[in-house]
Structure 1
Amino acid sequence: MDEDLRATESVVHTVRKMRGNKGVYYLVDRKTGKSPSITLWASEQDLQATEQDANRVRAQSAQAGGRTIVSVERFEVAVAETDAS
């Protein structure tokens, strides 16, 4: 799993360079091997504008890690509160 996380870092950097990206969370359940990710976008328009690139990055990442993409869902952030970094 740790080797997979190192490979994922380059994917995260690629996504972070996409127009309008505001953040990436890569979550891991070490017991099950599941690893969902959450990306945050400045606007729905930015999300839509990067859709093709995001599909390509997801497919390449899954293939490289021997994983399967189970689903892709889109949600609006209705409420958020975080500590400033």
Structure 2
Amino acid sequence: MEQKVDKRTEGLVMDNAERLMNVEEVAKRLRTSRAVTAELLRLGWLKSVRFGSEYRIPKFALHEFIVDNIGVDILEKLEAVGAE
């Protein structure tokens, strides 16, 4: 059977880096609580895609968040904005 090629995505490599994670998966990777992760999303510090009340975080967005916050105490940063 011949496979159809979508011209919009032709040549795009879809690998594990494109995977979307839910809040619990991100919390586990950050080794923090679901509440802290949800607060990062609420503040817009962690980029996501929303489907109704559910959030999905692309792996690249998690990586970007980590790189942008190397050496930063996130809990202190959250306290400074009155979050948590």
TM-score computed with the length of structure 2 as normaliser = 0.27
* Structure with the greater alpha carbon radius of gyration: 2
TM-score computed with the length of structure 1 as normaliser = 0.27
Structure ranking higher on relative contact order (CA contacts 8 Å, 6+ apart): 2
